[in-house]
Amino acid sequence: MGELRQTELVVIGAGPGGYAAAFRAADLGKKVLLIDRDPELGGVCLNRGCIPSKALLHISKVMDEATNLKRMGVKYGKPKININQIRDHKNKIVSQLNSGLTQMANARKVEVIQGLASFISNTELKIQTETGNVSVAFGQCIVAGGSTSALIPGAPKEHPSVITSRTALDLEDIPERLLVIGGGVIGLELGQVYAAIGAKVSVVEYLPNLLPGTDLDLVKPLQRKLKKQCEFIQVSSKVTKVEPNKDSTLTVTIKNEKGSSTEVFNKVLVSVGRKPNTGLLNIEATDVKVNDHGFIQADAYQRTSVKNIFAIGDIIGYPMLAHKATHEGKVAAEVASGHPAAFDVRAIPSVVYTDPEVAWAGLTETNAKENNIPYEKGEFPWSASGKAIAMGINQGKTKILFDPETKRVLGVGIVGPGAGDMITEGALAIEMGADAEDISLTVHPHPTLSETVGLAAEVFTGTITDLYLQNR
């Protein structure tokens, strides 16, 4: 039967949402038990996603910047890649952050158990650990079970040359040719990393455009960059077969309107989205409702259909973003502790950490057109930004969507280096109900990239002097 434990609050999953929930609940006086399959806290984001990928993307961006300096009269020799040292650098960063989380858990007296948690009932869990099973009776539970990389039919699951976002960052070697299946956020980020360290990268995307759902004008500068970095990019195309060869390479069949073709790659990165981990939880043993896609249904208070069970993060649906999960985790902890709280946001910013970065918050033009939402916009091209020109990055853009009647900000989109840092001003403007004048009259420092936000608002209000607009 195993050991029987009791706890006031149990949190399943120690990713950004899970540890935030556990730490906040502990700060509010709860006795908390935190469970995760991995030996280290932080989940996919810290250990195999957000953080290690950004460490590697930073390397690739600096290398690209150094190469581009030759246009300004500064020339460096060809970089020497030490894959082992790069991997060690990435691992060191992850380890440092892991250690910080462990210290914070200990300081808050949050008990951590490594194991696979699954439900027995609405009030009891089973934890499979290396030393045996542990049963936990709980008063309340916060489910932060996360998600897993989805695979495609026809691709061998266990072949060492077929990698996912989970294994791509291990950087065991530099493949001569790498195929990225899926032109979404993760695929393009990791593709750029591998291209920077010397792999010949190709991308196949099933839908007509890269970064599906993202405004095309924001994608175009990135697409231009990728075409220079990649062997080929095929959209509206489908990988129908991945066949292993004797030398560990893979023969890939790609089908589109022009017909079928085959290519041989050293590695194939499958990046076609993620699926919730509800299948690992034995959720059927509870009265928690799950939708047709396997996501747990939760309300604005992060409550499920069972009053003592809450759910947050990837496991409740899109957008699957760490910062969303963190805020949801705090809400769940506060509601569980009897405090008034709700996840009530107008805008969740999204960032693609490619080079150039693509970021947006609130309403997009794509979404507005699909749903017949009226809007007006102001946009400022970085080709007119002194700072961008000085940096040699003048292909960016900042645009703001406004309500035609109230002139309030509905959405913001930015493409260019540092877009991920700049988008916060847009998210804040939406949350605070700022209008065009609020932004245009806010004094932005010059010369900066962030002033393009104010200048985009000036374009809309007609007060812009950094551009000449006819028929204003």
Tens of pLDDT, residues 10-53: 999 999 999 999 999 999 999 999 999 998 888 888 887 888 88
Q: How high is the pLDDT of residue 137?
A: 95
Multiple choice CATH, 3-149+275-336, 3.40.605.10, 3.30.420.40, 3.50.50.60, 3.20.20.70: 3.50.50.60
Where does the pLDDT of residue 416 fall: very low under 50, low under 70, confident under 90, or very high at 90 and above? very high
| CATH architecture label of 350-461 | 2-Layer Sandwich (3.30)
Q: How do the domains of the chain map onto residue ranges? A: 3-149+275-336, 162-272, 350-461
Q: What is the pTM of this model?
A: 0.92
User: How would you write the chain as a 3-class SS string?
Assistant: CCEEEEEEEEEECCCHHHHHHHHHHHHCCCCEEEEECCCCCCHHHHHHCHHHHHHHHHHHHHHHHHHHHHHHCCCCCCCCCCHHHHHHHHHHHHHHHHHHHHHHHHHCCCEEEECEEEEEECCEEEEEECCEEEEEEEEEEEECCCEEECCCCCCCCCCCCEECHHHHCCCCCCCCEEEEECCCHHHHHHHHHHHHCCCEEEEECCCCCCCCCCCHHHHHHHHHHHHHHEEEEECCCEEEEEEECCCCCEEEEEEECCEEEEEEECEEEECCCEEEHHHHCCHHHCCCCECCCCCECCCCCCECCCCCEEECHHHHCCCCCHHHHHHHHHHHHHHHCCCCCCCCCCCCCEEECCCCCEEEEECCHHHHHHCCCCCEEEEEEHHHCHHHHHHCCCCCEEEEEECCCCCEEEEEEEECCCHHHHHHHHHHHHHCCCEHHHHHCCCCCCCCCCHHHHHHHHHHHCCCCCCCCCCC
Query: Hey, how many other C-beta atoms are within 10 angstroms of the C-beta on 445?
Result: 9
Tens of pLDDT, residues 180-223: 999 999 999 999 999 998 999 999 999 999 999 999 999 999 99
Q: How high is the pLDDT of residue 154?
A: 76
Q: How high is the pLDDT of residue 471?
A: 65
Q: Reply yes or no on whether the pLDDT at 313 is more than 80.
A: yes
What value does the mean pLDDT take over residues 138-144?
97
Multiple choice CATH, 162-272, 3.40.640.10, 3.40.50.410, 3.50.50.60, 3.30.420.40: 3.50.50.60
CB 122 within 8 A of CB 309: yes
Least confident of 172-176, 219-223, 293-297: 172-176
Tens of pLDDT, residues 48-107: 788 888 888 898 889 888 888 888 999 988 889 898 999 899 899 989 999 999 999 999
Tens of pLDDT, residues 459-472: 999 999 999 887 65
Q: Reply yes or no on whether the pLDDT at 115 is more than 60.
A: yes
Are 3-149+275-336 and 162-272 in the same CATH fold?
yes
Displacement of CA 208 from its chain's centroid (Å):
21
Q: How high is the pLDDT of residue 472?
A: 56
Q: What average pLDDT is seen over the chain? A: 93
Where does the pLDDT of residue 446 fall: very low under 50, low under 70, confident under 90, or very high at 90 and above? very high
Tens of pLDDT, residues 352-389: 999 999 999 999 999 999 999 999 999 999 999 999 99
Selecting among 58, 293, 339, 446, the annotated active-site residue is: 446
Q: Does the annotation mark 446 as catalytic?
A: yes
Q: Reply yes or no on whether the pLDDT at 1 is more than 70.
A: no
